[in-house]
């Protein structure tokens, strides 16, 4: 009699454990999408619930869908290459601007020392 209740308790425990386990597993793609700030995370969440009715047949595709997007690079590597090219051209432009500014600063310093030498020689002539 005691073993019958014990077996019934184990059956209930296993059923509840499996039920919550399946629900926790179906939510993994949504959690990945949320972590990666996926733009379609709500659709992934709903598709995860739909996958319960398809016995998780579409679940691997949801996993792939969730992991394809990363906030830093978007949907793939092509955007990274394009961003690197844009950044490289911006760095070249900034380097050129910096070189021009340094050149102008050097010219201004040279003209300022020329003016100060003229002023000091004129001051010397005035004192004599």
User: Hey, where are the domains in the chain?
Assistant: 1-75, 77-128
| Coil, strand or helix at 110 | helix
| Coil, strand or helix at 128 | coil
Task: Give every CB contact of residue 28 below 8 A, 6+ residues apart in sequence.
Answer: 63
Please, which pLDDT band fits residue 47 given cuts at 50, 70 and 90?
A: very high
Structure tokens at 62: 């949801």
Task: Give every CB contact of residue 37 below 8 A, 6+ residues apart in sequence.
Answer: 71
User: Is-contact 45 30, C-beta < 8 A?
Assistant: yes
pLDDT at residue 120 tops 80: no
Give the per-residue pLDDT at 121.
Answer: 60
d(CA 68, CA 74) in angstroms, rounded, equals 8
Please, which pLDDT band fits residue 83 given cuts at 50, 70 and 90?
A: confident
């Amino acid at each position: 009699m005691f073993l019958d209740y014990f077996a019934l308790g184990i059956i209930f425990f296993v059923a509840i454990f499996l039920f919550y386990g399946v629900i926790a597993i179906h939510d993994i793609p949504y959690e990945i999408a949320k972590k990666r700030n996926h733009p379609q995370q709500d659709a992934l969440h709903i598709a995860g619930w739909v996958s319960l009715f398809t016995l998780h047949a579409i679940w691997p595709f949801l996993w792939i869908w969730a992991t394809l997007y990363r906030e830093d690079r978007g949907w793939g590597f092509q955007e990274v290459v394009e961003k690197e090219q844009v950044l490289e051209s911006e760095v070249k432009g900034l380097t050129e601007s910096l070189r021009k500014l340094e050149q102008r600063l050097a010219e201004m310093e040279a003209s300022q020392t020329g003016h100060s030498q003229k002023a000091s020689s004129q001051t010397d002539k005035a004192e004599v």
